[in-house]
């Protein structure tokens, strides 16, 4: 029995022996014989090819929204931005039926009814002291703003009224509708069936158009103001009892944006830079001479420690002093960065695991003429360093695939579009359109006298 | 006194059961040992070269006598390195041995590191077919082990101009295992012969990990790990002979001569390099290496291990004193490998065939059992006290201008147990390997080993005495 106990104890000890390994890690012996090779990371930065770096025409950004639950905005106004040029924005709003309609409103004589379009300011581009003259139109027919792009327009019917709107963002804007408009529409406004289709057929919506009568000047640059569609609405109430209000929320909206050429006076500011403007059908395209870069050869097949694409923005050049005091230029809070896949059958699809299951551009999110579906992959972006820099840290898989022996480079070029986000860090995938904006950015052309370059930096450990 | 009749078959099962359990545990430990061989990485940097640090465990008795004892017959041990000794068996025997070792490494610049690890030395199983005439032996033990870890620090300047300190860790693990099985046969009282089939197999891994050490950067800069894995398999054979002479100098003494030769082994295998990604969502990449005009994820190749010969003398003065003198020679300059680095990042073995040299080893030892074979002697007198030493010219020569020599002293106690044929051996070893000249390092190593050798009579009718 004693022997068995001893044997059992020894067996346990024997089992534990292999587990009793520990060490003080040491560099002693690293130089013996053939040096312990490799393992030293290399960092290379590939600056974007300046010869192909530039603007490219794309489909105008989507500025229509048919999801009333989503934070959205509409823009209206006219601004002469000293750097970016003149932007004109018109807002389109469609309403949903009021639920419920208070009895006092329902029973009120039409001549005591009043209607007001309440607009909640949220955005300003331009002179904060300016007054924007807007004209309110009924739309001619029931519109569909789904996937409507910034260069689209929708036909209007009669002008309802015109207003002077302050660009100051400190209070809501109230546009009282004429009594005649109330009389003409009181039937549908007080329709208690609650049938949205009936309401839609009877009420096409509004266009809030900035007056074209007076162009902005450098001294009076005007303004584009933005309103939250979630907080804006039409209110129907009684003049003799303001406690009873029927509220008609915004059901869908759209913003038309157009741009004029930037002023010649600030051309020097834009020299060696590419100008991107929110709402404009233009993006930045850039590429890297990946295959011609000799330094890349040493990284073929190498494990990647980090790959990062940086696009800098010249915020200093954007600030300038030409604008009068009080000129406000909004900060861009979002971008869309897309990678154009090389046209080669061996290149994995965007959604493949090799490329990190990237989203791909669909017709709904806007294909450029001549671009087949699936050619562009959306790259999630790191917006934490905005407004100076945009980065994407998710390129490891893309570059790793590009560095396989005898494999073509996965990406042919990149495309950067200006968007805007209310919640840059978490809101939506990069494939979702940003909210309408007229914010401009300047991006230095590689090789120009600027410290910041658009570059792909790779840290890899050669085999 | 009461007695109870127990059927003979039941009695035999009762005795056999513990051995079966131990055998099962041994097999389990064999698995553990194989796993352990893949994961330690805490031994000598010299194991980075060749096929790793060679292991030549023969028996726990041999281990304490300098590592040889190729001519020493013992009913308590069945030395695995000479199959001829398997002919002399009375007991069915199971041996398991494990050890713990510490290596103090020092280089010429005075830098020092301490590495410690535990490992399984061997599992042996043997039994007589004909008592003291024909026996079977089985052994599973490491043939070689790669077991090192070295780190190197550095810094890389990121494109932003920020320095990023990093650490590169090189570690090796795994090695070749030996599964040996064979027979020993007594031709006459003087000559015994034996032969075994030796299966060599294993995976040797060299792992290189680059990790960034600044906690602020470690999140954005991922570690890079490259594993170079060589899998080998092959079969060879070992032949042994043993000559015994009695009454050479005086009555009851014995002089034995042992010889064994392991034939060259041709191992075939494949080499694969793997990029291990720390991101669990990304599958590991198998590197594609150029093999001729093809891009392949693995490369087939062959490795030829050289002939190894062992020679031993033992002299048993009487029942108390035993002396051994042994030598081993391996013509490692004949080693060849087709994993020569063509289209591959680096050759296998590291440094190529030129980094290997012929190996020789001499060892000697003495054993005394004060009580001889007197079973009534005191316990301390029945303990076997052993002392030995060895000198070795290592088969790896990382620096062509410097030989790597190893010397060590060994010793041990063999503790008898109430069960005849079962002993517990506690061995120790200390020695030095290499030199601090040039770029080499000097290992000062210490090893403590524990072996249990169970011997029971199986398949034999008990006789009333």
Say if residue A73 is in the same domain as residue A27: no
Regarding beta strands A455-460 and A440-444, do their DSSP bridges make them parallel or antiparallel, or are they unpaired?
Answer: unpaired
* ipTM of this complex: 0.74
Position A442 in a domain = yes
What DSSP element (H or E) covers A7? helix A2-16
Range of the domain at A165: 64-259
CA–CA distance, A101 with A84 (Å, rounded to integer): 46
Is A86 in the same domain as A45? no
Tell which of B153, B222, B400, B403 to mutate to test the A interface (max A CBs under 10 Å).
B222
pLDDT of residue B19: 47
Residue A268 lies in a domain: no
Question: For residue A453, what are the contacts with CB-CB under 8 A and spacing of at least 6?
Answer: A45, A47, A48, A310, A312, A444, A446, A447
> Which residues on adjacent β-strands are paired with residue B336?
B304
Question: Is residue A187 located within the same domain as residue A326?
Answer: no
Answer whether B88's CB lies under 8 Å from B256's CB: no
**Residue B102 burial by CB count (10 A; 0-12/13-18/19+): exposed, middle or buried?**
middle
Question: Do A202 and A91 belong to one domain?
Answer: yes
So what's the pLDDT on residue B291? 46
Give B3-464's CATH code, choosing from 2.40.160.60, 3.10.20.30, 1.10.490.10, 2.60.40.3680. Answer: 2.40.160.60
Return d(Cα B342, Cα B354) in angstroms, integer.
16
In terms of domains, do A172 and A129 share one?
A: yes
- Asked whether residue A325 is assigned to any structural domain, the reply reads yes
Least confident of A271-275, A289-293, A328-332: A289-293
Q: Rounded CA gap, A152 and A136, in Å?
A: 18
Q: What is the structure's pLDDT at A269?
A: 84
CA dist., res. A33 & res. B351, Å (int): 7
Sheet holding A42-47, edge to edge: A42-47, A455-460, A304-312, A389-392
The residues with which B286 forms a beta bridge, in sequence order, are B274
pLDDT in tens, chain B (465 residues): 333 333 333 334 444 444 444 444 444 444 434 333 333 345 788 998 899 999 989 999 999 999 999 999 998 898 999 999 999 999 999 999 999 989 998 888 888 888 888 888 999 999 999 999 999 999 999 999 988 888 888 999 987 788 999 999 888 899 999 999 999 999 999 999 999 999 999 999 988 899 999 988 877 888 888 888 899 999 999 999 999 999 998 888 999 999 999 999 999 999 887 777 665 555 555 554 544 444 456 788 899 999 999 999 999 999 899 999 999 999 999 999 988 655 566 778 887 888 899 999 999 999 999 998 888 899 999 999 999 999 999 999 988 888 999 999 999 999 999 888 899 999 999 999 999 988 889 999 999 999 999 998 876 655 555
Most confident segment among A4-8, A377-381, B384-388: B384-388
**Cβ pair A43:B273 closer than 8 A:** no
In DSSP terms, which residues pair with B231 in a beta bridge?
Answer: B203, B270
A5 touches chain B (CB under 8 A): no
Domain endpoint, select from A196, A228, A259? A259
In a domain, A275, yes or no: no
CB contact (8 A) between residue B441 and residue A28: yes
**Within this chain, do residues A235 and A302 fall inside the same structural domain, yes or no?**
no
- With cut-offs at 50, 70 and 90, classify the pLDDT of residue A433: confident
Total domain count for chain A?
2
Q: How many residues does chain B have?
A: 465
A139 and A205 Cβ atoms separated by less than 8 Å = yes
**CA neighbours within 13 Å on the CB side: how many for A217?**
4
Q: Does A19 contact chain B (CB < 8 Å)?
A: yes
The sign one gets for the Cα dihedral B387, B391, B397, B403 is: positive
Shared-domain flag, residues A32 and A85: no
Q: What is the number of other CB atoms lying within 10 angstroms of the CB of residue B219?
A: 9
Cβ A21–B42 below 8 Å, yes or no?
A: yes
The chain B residue lying nearest A353, using CA atoms, is: B282
Instruction: Judge whether A27 is closer than 8 Å to chain B, CB to CB.
Output: yes
pTM: 0.77
- Domain boundaries defined on chain B: 3-464
Q: In terms of domains, do A85 and A219 share one?
A: yes
Does A300 lie in the same domain as A217?
A: no
Same domain assignment for residues A341 and A384: yes
- Test mutation, A1, A2, A305, A393, chain B, max B CBs within 10 A: A305
Question: Is position A270 within any domain?
Answer: no
Q: What is the pLDDT of residue A439?
A: 93
Angle between helix A2-16 and B8-39 (nearest 10): 20
The reply to whether A116 and A148 lie within a common domain is: yes
Task: List residues bridging with A185 in a β-sheet.
Answer: none
Neighbour count for residue A30 (Cβ, 10 Å): 19
A176 with A305, same domain: the answer is no
* Phi and psi based region of residue B421 (left: phi greater than 0; alpha: psi -120 to 50; beta: remaining): left
Residue A165 lies in a domain: yes
pLDDT at position B206 is 87
**Full DSSP string of B220-262:** TS--EEEEEEEEEEEEEEEEEEEEEEESSSSTT-EEEEEEEEE
Question: Using CB atoms within 10 A of its CB, is residue B284 exposed (0-12), middle (13-18) or buried (19+)?
Answer: exposed
Q: What is the DSSP letter of B47?
A: G
């Amino acid at each position: 029995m004693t022997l068995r106990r001893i044997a059992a104890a020894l067996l346990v000890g024997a089992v534990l022996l292999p587990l009793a390994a520990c060490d003080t890690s040491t560099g002693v012996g690293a130089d013996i014989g053939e040096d312990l090779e490799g393992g030293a990371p290399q960092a290379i930065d590939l600056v974007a090819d300046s010869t192909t770096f530039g603007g490219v025409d794309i489909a105008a950004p989507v500025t229509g929204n048919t999801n009333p639950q989503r934070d959205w905005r509409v823009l209206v106004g006219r601004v002469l931005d000293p750097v970016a040029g003149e932007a004109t924005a018109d807002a389109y709003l469609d309403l949903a039926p009021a639920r419920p309609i208070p009895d006092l409103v329902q029973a009120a004589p039409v001549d005591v009814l009043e209607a007001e379009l309440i607009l909640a300011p949220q955005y300003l581009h331009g002179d904060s002291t300016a007054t924007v003259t807007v004209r309110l139109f009924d739309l001619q027919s029931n519109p569909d703003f789904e996937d409507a792009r910034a260069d689209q327009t929708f036909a209007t019917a009669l002008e309802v009224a015109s207003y002077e709107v302050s660009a100051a963002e400190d209070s809501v804007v109230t546009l009282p509708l004429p009594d005649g408009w109330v009389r003409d529409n009181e039937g549908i406004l007080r329709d208690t069936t609650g049938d949205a289709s009936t309401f839609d057929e009877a009420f096409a919506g509004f266009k809030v158009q900035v007056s074209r009568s007076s162009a902005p000047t450098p001294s009076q640059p005007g303004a584009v103001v933005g309103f939250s569609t979630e907080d804006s609405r039409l209110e129907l109430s009684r003049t003799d009892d303001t406690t009873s209000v029927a509220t008609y929320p915004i059901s869908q909206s759209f913003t038309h944006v157009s741009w004029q050429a930037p002023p010649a006076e600030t051309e020097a500011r834009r020299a060696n830079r590419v100008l991107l403007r929110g709402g404009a059908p233009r993006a930045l395209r850039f590429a890297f001479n990946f295959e011609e870069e000799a330094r890349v050869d040493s990284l073929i097949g190498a494990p990647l420690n980090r790959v990062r694409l940086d696009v800098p923005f010249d915020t200093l050049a954007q600030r300038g002093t030409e604008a009068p005091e009080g000129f406000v230029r909004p900060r861009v809070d979002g971008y869309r960065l897309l990678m154009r896949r090389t046209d080669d059958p061996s290149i994995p699809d965007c959604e493949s695991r090799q490329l990190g299951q990237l989203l791909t551009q669909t017709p709904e999110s806007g294909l450029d003429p001549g671009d087949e579906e699936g050619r562009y992959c959306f790259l999630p972006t790191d917006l934490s360093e905005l407004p100076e820099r945009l980065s994407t840290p998710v390129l490891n898989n893309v570059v790793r695939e590009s560095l396989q022996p005898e494999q073509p480079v996965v990406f042919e070029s990149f495309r950067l579009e200006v968007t805007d986000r209310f919640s840059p860090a978490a809101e939506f995938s990069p494939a979702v359109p940003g909210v309408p904006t007229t914010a401009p950015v300047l991006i230095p052309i590689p090789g120009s006298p600027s410290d910041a370059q658009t570059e792909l930096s790779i840290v890899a450990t050669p085999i | 006194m009461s007695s109870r009749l127990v059927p003979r078959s039941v009695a035999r099962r009762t005795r056999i059961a513990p051995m079966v359990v131990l055998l099962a545990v041994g097999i389990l430990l064999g698995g553990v040992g194989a796993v352990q061989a893949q994961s330690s990485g805490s031994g000598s940097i010299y194991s980075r070269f060749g096929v790793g640090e060679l292991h030549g465990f023969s028996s726990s008795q041999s281990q304490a006598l300098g590592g040889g004892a190729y001519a020493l017959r013992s009913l308590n041990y069945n030395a695995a390195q000479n199959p001829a000794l398997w002919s002399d068996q009375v007991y069915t025997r199971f041996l398991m041995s494990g050890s713990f070792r510490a290596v103090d490494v020092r280089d010429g610049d005075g830098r020092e590191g301490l590495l410690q690890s535990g490992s399984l030395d061997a599992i042996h199983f043997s039994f007589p077919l004909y008592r003291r005439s024909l026996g079977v032996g089985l052994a599973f033990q490491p043939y070689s082990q790669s077991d090192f870890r070295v780190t190197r620090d550095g810094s890389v300047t990121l494109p932003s101009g920020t320095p990023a300190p990093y650490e590169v860790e090189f570690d090796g693990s795994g090695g070749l295992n030996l599964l040996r099985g064979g027979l020993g046969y007594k031709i006459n009282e003087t000559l015994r012969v034996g032969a075994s089939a030796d299966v060599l197999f294993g995976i040797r891994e060299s792992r290189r990990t680059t990790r960034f050490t600044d906690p602020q950067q470690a999140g954005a800069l991922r570690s890079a790990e490259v594993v170079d894995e060589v899998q080998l398999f092959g079969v060879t054979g070992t032949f042994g002979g043993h000559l015994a002479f009695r009454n050479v100098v005086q009555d009851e003494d014995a002089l034995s001569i042992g010889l064994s030769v392991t034939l060259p082994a041709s191992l075939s295998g494949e080499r694969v390099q793997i990029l291990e990604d720390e991101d669990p969502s990304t599958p590991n990449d198998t590197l594609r290496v150029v093999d001729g005009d093809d891009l392949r994820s693995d490369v087939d190749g062959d490795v030829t291990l050289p002939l190894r010969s062992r020679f031993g003398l033992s002299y048993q003065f009487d029942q108390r004193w035993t002396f051994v003198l042994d030598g081993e020679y391996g013509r490692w300059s004949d080693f060849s490998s087709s994993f020569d680095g063509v289209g591959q990042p680096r050759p296998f073995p590291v440094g190529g065939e030129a980094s290997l040299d012929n190996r020789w080893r001499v060892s000697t030892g003495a054993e005394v059992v004060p009580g001889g074979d007197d079973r009534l002697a005191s316990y301390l007198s029945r303990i076997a006290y052993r002392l030995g030493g060895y000198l070795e010219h290592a088969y790896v020569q990382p620096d062509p201008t410097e030989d790597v020599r190893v010397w060590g002293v060994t010793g041990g106690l063999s503790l008898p147990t109430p069960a005849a044929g079962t002993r517990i051996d506690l061995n120790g070893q200390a020695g030095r390997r290499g030199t601090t000249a040039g770029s080499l390092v000097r290992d000062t190593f210490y090893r403590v080993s524990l072996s249990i050798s169970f011997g029971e009579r199986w398949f034999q009718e008990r006789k009333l005495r």
